[in-house]
Amino acid sequence: MKGRTKSQKPDLTKVDKIVSKYKGERGVLISVLQEVQAEFGWVPSQAIQRIADVLEVSLGQVYGVLTFYAQFYLTPRGRNTIRVCRGTACHVRGTKANLRAVERILGIKEGETTSDFKFSLETVACLGTCFLAPVMMINRNYYGKLTPGKVEPILKQYS
């Protein structure tokens, strides 16, 4: 996922290119939004306006879809997504301490993004890797049997 800082304006030609792929198809709003988010890392407001214009739907309709589905981010996201599992097995094996370590090292809380847009932090109900509890995922990598001491060296591996 590519991340951009808020000051940069999104390249709307990319949006046009995505929309044109779906020309002639019905019900493409969600697919278009998904591809736009994959491109920018989030859905910038200028992109939302452009999509509404090109697809000829109301702004309300686009926002309706964006706010209904959990997948869409309306604020810029970090390049790397950290997911700390808060499922039962992890809970019992001390995942809270790991979460606190991440929050402390990065200076952000759950749901937030670092100011340099390097990391976004989330918690998840269960990653399904209970055997490795407590677990943290960064992008598609799993870090199991995690302890607070191991967090910093792991985070340093990411740019």
| Residues engaged in binding other proteins (CB under 8 A) | 26-31, 33-34, 64-65, 68-72, 88-89, 92-94, 96-97, 125-132, 140, 142, 144-145, 147
Least distance from other proteins to the Cβ atom of residue 128, Å: 7
DSSP the chain: -----TTSPP-HHHHHHHHHHTTT-SS-HHHHHHHHHHHHSS--HHHHHHHHHHHT--HHHHHHHHHHSTT--SS---SEEEEEE-SHHHHHTTHHHHHHHHHHHHT--TT-B-TTSSEEEEEES--S-GGG-S-EEETTEEE-S--HHHHHHHHHT--
Please identify, using beta-carbon distances, which residue of 7 and 125 lies nearer to other proteins. Answer: 125
Please identify, using beta-carbon distances, which residue of 2 and 26 lies nearer to other proteins. Answer: 26
Please identify, using beta-carbon distances, which residue of 34 and 114 lies nearer to other proteins. Answer: 34
Please identify, using beta-carbon distances, which residue of 107 and 128 lies nearer to other proteins. Answer: 128
Least distance from other proteins to the Cβ atom of residue 129, Å: 4
Please identify, using beta-carbon distances, which residue of 14 and 144 lies nearer to other proteins. Answer: 144
Least distance from other proteins to the Cβ atom of residue 4, Å: 21
Least distance from other proteins to the Cβ atom of residue 28, Å: 6
Phi, psi of 108, deg, nearest 5: -130, 160
Least distance from other proteins to the Cβ atom of residue 91, Å: 9
